[in-house]
Amino acid sequence: MDGVRVGNRVIGADAPVTIGWENIPQVEGGAFKRAFFTWFQPAVLLGLIAFWYYAPNSIAKASTAIGIGIGFKVLLLALEWVNPRYDSWRLTWKELATDMFYVGLGYTMVRMVSGFIGSDAMITAIQQSFHWDKLNWFVGLPLLVQAFLIAFIFDFGQYWMHRGMHNWYPLWLTHSVHHFITQLNINKGAVGNPVEIFLIGLGIGGFFDFLPRAALIAGTFGMAVSTYQHINVRFNSPRWWRYVFNTTEHHSLHHSLDYEATRSNYSGTFIFIDRMFGTCVDGEAELLGMEGGRRMSIREQMTYPFTEAWRTTRERLARQPAAIPAE
Amino acid sequence: MNTRFIDWIWHVRGSLALSPQMSPADAFDRLDPLFHTTGTSHERTSDRLVFRKKDPAAQDRMAVFENGVLQVEKAAGGPVLHYHLISRSLLLCFLAPLLFLGFAQLNIALAKFDKPAAAASAKPGAGKAADKQAKKADVPMNPIDKWLGAPAPEKKDADKSEDKGKKKHSPTPAYVFAGIFAALYLVGRILEDRLVKSLFRKRLMAA
């Protein structure tokens, strides 16, 4: 396979990928269907931002956000059914059950552990020991600026954590499990070793004081942009959207069977961070995963980082030359 | 231990009447492509097929079954295909609510454990905390947001930090997921039974 030259790199030499927006298939069907799948993403994002901006205080609460989040995921599941990007990514009962197991772990076990040693717990401890107050200059900024900064600061941190995971072996061991997924569906973002799920959730937002409403608007970026990283729906995302935001196309390339393609598109929400640092590749891929696309069982997903660490450590120790006795 | 009375949880059994002219070899030839997928191994004798799957692909139509036996037997009305399939996925899904109920109990225990510590830490600093709250009572609102008509932010509520403590160890998400997995199991047990029967039927009836 020849691959395609993108900057200094050759993408698609190991496995087929599509590079360039002009080569990506468009939504087919009637005018309504095409308009729906073109404007759905911006309309939802802008609608939700307006909702959180103007909702009375009695409604603008985390519990409302949870309800909207669940409803939105059910809607996206329906869209996967109606307009799948690839038939080879169709959601099966086993895939759904596996994904839900990880979603459940994220809401229970990982949250429990994060409560003790997560970034918020660590930041609170730091603030208490140094008698620091939260940085409250943040709270006087316009709401939308606060919301953007919360989302951007978190995504900027995620970008470097994610890039670090792809470049530093101990971190890669935790993240590699997520790269064994062979198709994208809306709950696939939760699939991974719990150590990684914990690490990717770390952020420095706890140092800042901001309005709860700004946090809800920032959460909208997560829900109405980042969720599309893992989804089996064909959208005609507008040009400006895919220039600014991460999309299924970008993220499918990141999950491709092609090694070089996986070393791109690290951000979770704002793809312009990848553009800033030269890691953005516009395109998509259908064949995903690692090691030829083998599907990893939950049991192996739980143990893989540790068994691999043990195996490579033993190999490294075995390679070290034996001490040469002095003559 | 005789698991016969409970093994329906993860064992799927069924049968399909074959056309009188169909030999066991014909039937297995038609089903053969199902056992040539990634991670699947199978052995065939004249009237029996045994298969085993390890890490099957996500789109494998029988991915939910780790192993099984298919047997063609002669009956009064003609040959009948009997199948007995075993699914660890169904068993784990059946047991998953227990895991999440366990997490719920752990949360309840942690909340009890946290309570005395929270009460102790709250007492000496209570005066200071109240002062701080008083200082922070006025939450600023940017003029742009005022002009755009956003609702004014609420004053910070001292009770909210207590609520936060309660929510930190809430067992509710774990209960919700226990319920989700109970529902998923019921759907899976019925759906996968029907899907595999229809898959075999379509293959056997294909010209």
Tens of pLDDT, residue by residue over A157-169, are: 999 999 999 999 9
Contact A186, A80 (CB under 8 A): yes
Which of these three, B41, B63, B86, is where a domain ends? B86
The pLDDT-based confidence of A110 (bands split at 50, 70, 90) is: confident
d(CA B196, CA A187): 25
Q: Are residues B103 and B38 in the same domain?
A: no
pLDDT tens column, A44-53: 999 999 999 9
CB contact under 8 A, A53 and B139: no
Strand blocks (E) in chain A: 4-6, 9-11, 18-19, 283-284
Residue type, A297: S
Residue B192 resides in a domain: no
Specify the DSSP class assigned to residue A256: B
d(CA A23, CA A308): 38
Look at residue A210 in the predicted model and tell me its pLDDT: 76
Residue B112 resides in a domain: yes
Residue B41 resides in a domain: yes
Rg (C-alpha) for chain B, rounded Å, is 30
Q: Are residues B97 and B54 in the same domain?
A: no
What does each C-alpha distance from A276 to A67, A165, A270, A294, B1 come to in angstroms?
35, 19, 10, 34, 63
Give the burial string for A293-318 (b: 16+ CB within 10 Å, else e).
bbbbbeeebbebbeeeeeeeeeeeee
The pLDDT-based confidence of B97 (bands split at 50, 70, 90) is: very high
Q: Taking CB atoms and an 8 Å cutoff, what residues of chain B touch A107?
A: 173-174, 176-177
pLDDT at A295 over 60: yes
pLDDT at B132 over 60: no
Q: Are residues B59 and B120 in the same domain?
A: no
CB contact under 8 A, A112 and B139: no
Domain range for B28 is 7-86
Q: Are strands B48-53 and B67-75 parallel, antiparallel or unpaired?
A: antiparallel
Residue B148 resides in a domain: yes
Cβ-based contacts under 8 A for chains A and B:
102
Task: With H, G, I as helix, E, B as strand and everything else as coil, classify residue B84.
Answer: strand
d(CA A308, CA B38): 23
CB contact under 8 A, B89 and A94: yes
Contact A213, B150 (CB under 8 A): yes
Average pLDDT score, chain A = 90
CB contact under 8 A, A54 and B151: yes
CB contact under 8 A, B173 and A107: yes
Q: Are residues B80 and B111 in the same domain?
A: no
Q: Taking CB atoms and an 8 Å cutoff, what residues of chain A touch B140?
A: 139-140
Q: Are residues B78 and B101 in the same domain?
A: no
Task: With H, G, I as helix, E, B as strand and everything else as coil, classify residue B160.
Answer: helix
Selected for mutation to probe chain B from A52, A58, A101, A298 (highest B CB count within 10 Å) is A101
Token output for A210: 């901001």
Which of these three, B86, B103, B125, is where a domain ends? B86
Residues with Cβ within 8 Å of B160's Cβ and at least 6 positions away in sequence, in order, are: none
- A 34-53 → B contacts, CB under 8 A: 53
Task: With H, G, I as helix, E, B as strand and everything else as coil, classify residue A161.
Answer: helix
Token output for A185: 């569906």
CB contact under 8 A, A294 and B107: no
Residue B190 resides in a domain: no
Q: Are residues B148 and B175 in the same domain?
A: yes
Q: Taking CB atoms and an 8 Å cutoff, what residues of chain A touch B93?
A: 97
Q: How far is B135 from chain A (nearest CA, A)?
A: 13
Q: Are residues B104 and B177 in the same domain?
A: yes
Q: How far is A232 from chain B (nearest CA, A)?
A: 14
Q: Taking CB atoms and an 8 Å cutoff, what residues of chain B touch A94?
A: 58, 63-64, 89, 188
Minimum Cα–Cα distance from B96: chain A residue: A101
Q: Are residues B98 and B80 in the same domain?
A: no
Q: Are residues B56 and B121 in the same domain?
A: no
Residue B53 resides in a domain: yes
- Could you identify the residue written with the tokens 């569906």? A185
For residue B53, give the CATH number of its domain: 3.30.310
Q: Are residues B43 and B78 in the same domain?
A: yes
Nearest neighbour of A108 by CB, restricted to B38, B89, B173: B173
Domains held by chain B: number? 2
Q: Are residues B73 and B106 in the same domain?
A: no
Q: Are residues B61 and B134 in the same domain?
A: no
Alpha-helical segments (H) within B123-171: 126-135, 143-148, 158-168
| B56-61 contacts at long range (C-beta below 8 A, 24 or more positions apart) | B56/A295, B57/A182, B57/A293, B57/A295, B58/A92, B58/A94, B58/A95, B58/A182, B58/A183, B58/A295, B59/A88, B59/A90, B59/A92, B59/A183, B61/B34, B61/B195, B61/B199
pLDDT tens column, A304-314: 999 999 999 99
ipTM: 0.86
The pLDDT-based confidence of B142 (bands split at 50, 70, 90) is: confident
CB contact under 8 A, A53 and B39: no
Give me the residues paired with residue B49 across strands: B44, B70
The pLDDT-based confidence of B21 (bands split at 50, 70, 90) is: confident
